[in-house]
Structure 1
Amino acid sequence: MSRARQGDREAYETLVARYTVPAHRAAVLLGAGDDADDVVQEALVKAYRQLSRYRGESGFRPWLLAIVANETRNLHRSRRRRDGLALRAAVATEPLPDEPDPADTVMAHERRQRLVDQLRLLGERDRDVLVCRFLLDLSEQETAAALGVPKGTVKSRTARALARLREQLRAEEVPGV
């Protein structure tokens, strides 16, 4: 990182190679959908331009993921302004290669789809904190850095978002309740 900050492009290329996949995954899970490649590319360009502002407090990965999250939010805002498209989330559709029973694969896909559908119904703050904590597997500190909020806020938002998600899932299981 220090070499990249001093203008060493090869060092930055190493960072790009190491963090492109997690950045892309974050963009997809935060709702960039088919535009995830563009979001990641824009985030990497912005990160390069802002290297002088990087303080190193939480590591490069959370800092980059914060930029990816901001770029994804910008994408959402432009989508709503432009054509009002709904948020699209990524769902893994390929069965696992060692999955012995096709029925298990179908059930797992349906559970994932149900979860993603319910995540879509959550507010942006709730969705973002759950995606960071559980789908991107970030720590509370990394999530705080990525979302630009204090660690305590991550804890409280996570608890409230999980409660809302559980409530939605229960309501879906028992219609009319």
Structure 2
Amino acid sequence: MIARVRAGDTQAYAELVRAYTGTALRAAAAFGAGADAEDVVQSAFFKAYRALGHFKPGASFRPWLLRIVMNETRNTLRSALRQRSAAGREAALAEAEPLIPESADPAVAALREERRALLLAALDRLSTEQRLAVTYRYLLEMDEAETAQALGWPRGTVKSRLNRALKKLSKLLPPPDGSQPPGSEDKP
């Protein structure tokens, strides 16, 4: 499809945009774009289109595009001189996710939202590199190779940052079953 776009096939470009818009919006929201997510994604697709000549044949398009989305989000946040709080990112993520069906149990929905808030607060306590690794690998559901490609890191760096991030998250988050983490019985 990339070759068709490079050859000037506008229909192929439209197919690429349709195929990757959802993922790009989730990525922009996860990186803190908030209400600017759609603008970030539109700008990222424009920049990707202009840079297709530099895209390596045979490489995976998704990590390449998401790296552009990440950079565009950073640029947007820098130019606005604002940082999103955990609540701002939570709102952006909630907008990017489908609504809970009306048939869902309200208690289950409330518990899911509480867990999401706890996760986002815990993610805020990670280093930037750890948060990026977790976001790409688990929130955007990329494998380690795609994560490494998107972040421009060696695969071993992705593995080590994920390992440290997951250890820290396990200390920050309660177990999913609601029990106390080991060793926390003594603490107030």
TM superposition score normalised by structure 1: 0.86
Check the 8 A contact 2:26/2:93 in 1, yes or no.
Answer: no
Is residue 26 of structure 1 aligned with residue 27 of structure 2? yes
Quote the residue 1:51 is aligned against: 52
Residues 6 and 128 of structure 1, relative CA distance in 2, 3 Å threshold: same
Residues 77 and 123 of structure 1, relative CA distance in 2, 3 Å threshold: farther
Give percent identity, aligned residues only.
45
Which residue identity is paired with 1:17?
R
| Separation (CA, whole Å) in 2 of partners of 1:141 and 1:44 | 22
Superposed CA RMSD: 2.4
Q: Structure 2: 5+ residue runs without aligned partners?
A: 175-180
Q: How many residues of Structure 1 are paired with residues of Structure 2 in the alignment?
A: 173
Check the 8 A contact 1:91/1:112 in 2, yes or no.
Answer: no
Which residue identity is paired with 1:150?
P
Check the 8 A contact 1:19/1:61 in 2, yes or no.
Answer: yes
Check the 8 A contact 1:43/1:67 in 2, yes or no.
Answer: yes
Is residue 95 of structure 1 aligned with residue 104 of structure 2? no
Quote the residue 1:167 is aligned against: 171
User: For residues 49-83 of structure 1, what are the alpha-carbon distances to aligned partners after superposition, in whole Å with 9 as ceiling and x for unaligned?
Assistant: 1010000343111110111111122223234xx35
Residues 109 and 67 of structure 1, relative CA distance in 2, 3 Å threshold: same
| Separation (CA, whole Å) in 2 of partners of 1:76 and 1:91 | 16
Q: CA deviation at 1:130?
A: 0.5
Q: CA deviation at 1:108?
A: 1.2
Which residue identity is paired with 2:100?
P
Query: 1:23-172 residue pairs with structure 2 within 5 A?
Result: 23-79=24-80, 82-83=81-82, 86=85, 88-89=88-89, 90-92=92-94, 94-99=99-104, 101-169=105-173
Q: Structure 1: 5+ residue runs without aligned partners?
A: none
